Structure 1
Amino acid sequence: MAELPTEHFEHAEHAKHAAAHGDRLTAYVSLTIAVLAVVAATVGSLETLSSGKAISAKNEAVLFQNKATDQWAFFQAKSIKKNMYEIAGAGDGPKKDDFLRQAKKNEDESNEIMKEARRLEHEAEARLHESETFEHRHHILTIAVTMLHVSIAVATISIISGGKRWPWYASILLGLVGSAVAGSAYAH
């Protein structure tokens, strides 16, 4: 729910108009609207950042998984070569020792490749978990910014209704709840 870059000018104009009329409640409500708009814009930016970080972490997870898949394919190739050298070294031919040495070399290399593949899979899982954390945060911030926008709308009802206080109080309450919800996105 991105706001227009000029929306804060509109809120400032409402505050200026209210101050010109000399109505204290309208001035307070307008000031409340301006504060809520700043908080909503901030939470909206945090929401956008969380969404971007979720996408980036998910892309990194895919990249690490692809690298791990490549390592597993390399591991299989080395294992096949090791088995072929073991079969060739099973006889009593003149190159028996060379074949067994090559089999051992391929086994050692395949063990290192396996370790790297597992490390890359672990990295992929970590990035996927990171992505899920950012996605969860994004959803919470979406709820928070929506509550803040609703609080701004409710505050304007106070001005439109000729100075009724209950919409203003309700907007302050919604704004506080929306801010608390936004804060809870970073609680874990």
Structure 2
Amino acid sequence: MDDDFEVRGLHEQLSEERAAQGEAFDQRIALFTAILATLAAVTSFLGGHTQNEALLHKNEAVLIKAQASDAWGYYQAEDLKRHIAQMEVDLAPVGFGATQMAAHRADIARYTARGTALKREAETLDRRSAAADGESDEALRPHTKLALAVTAIQVAIALASITALTGRRWLLWVAGAAALVGALLAGLAWL
């Protein structure tokens, strides 16, 4: 019995060659999957960043809107005081003192000036709030495409995994197509 001598058949040789090719194929799938996972992580981070930025601008819009509401309330109070002072002048009995009339007219002028300033402030705050709301909408605009991109990339990762398990090479083309769709969506999110 000679253990040093081995005769190999064609079947054994082909099996070893296919195993070597399979290892290379599996390594390519693993590398492809790792690249896709990295792309998905970056795209997911960018999607989360857009949400955070949108929330920051939305919170700013709400805060400024509350300040505008306060300014409008102060404006209405000053306008009400002006209106009451004007009614006192308009309804003053004949012979009402000139000093009192002058004091009421001074009050009217003061309330009018304060009301004008408060109205300008409220209008400015309303515009700032609307601008911050617009910035929120603009910051959130790419989010949907980024979320769809991450989904397509995750589908590509799943298909690549199935390819590695089943050895069906055609699935890798489908995975590549899904990855391409995800990459395109991620790119379109910023246009």
TM-score by length of 2: 0.79
**Paired residue type of 1:102:** D
- State the distance in 1 between where 2:39 and 2:55 align: 25
The aligned counterpart of 1:160 is: 165
- State the distance in 1 between where 2:188 and 2:120 align: 39
The aligned counterpart of 1:183 is: 187
Q: Give the drift of 1:133.
A: 2.8
Q: Is 2:42 aligned against 1:42?
A: yes
* Equivalent of 1:138 in 143, 146, 170: 143
Worse-matched range after superposition: 175-184 or 31-40 = 175-184
**Paired residue type of 1:139:** T
The aligned counterpart of 1:57 is: 57
Aligned residue for 2:190, secondary structure, equals: coil
Worse-matched range after superposition: 132-141 or 76-85 = 132-141
Max radius of gyration: which structure?
2
Q: How many pairs are equivalent?
A: 167
**Paired residue type of 2:163:** S
- State the distance in 2 between where 1:67 and 1:186 align: 33
* Equivalent of 1:104 in 96, 109, 115: 109
- Percent identity between the aligned chains? 29
Counterpart mapping for 1:3-152 below 5 A: 23-90=23-90, 91=92, 92-93=96-97, 94-152=99-157
* Equivalent of 1:170 in 158, 174, 180: 174
- State the distance in 2 between where 1:186 and 1:52 align: 16
Q: Give the drift of 1:22.
A: 7.1
**Paired residue type of 2:49:** L
Q: Which runs of 5+ in 2 are unaligned?
A: 1-19
**1:157-180, CA deviations, whole angstroms, 9 ceiling, x for partnerless residues?**
221122x32222222221121111
- State the distance in 2 between where 1:166 and 1:108 align: 78
Q: Is the 8 A contact 1:89 1:97 kept in 2?
A: no
TM-score by length of 1: 0.80
Aligned residue for 1:186, secondary structure, equals: coil
- State the distance in 2 between where 1:182 and 1:126 align: 27
**1:113-152, CA deviations, whole angstroms, 9 ceiling, x for partnerless residues?**
1111111111221222222233332222111111111111
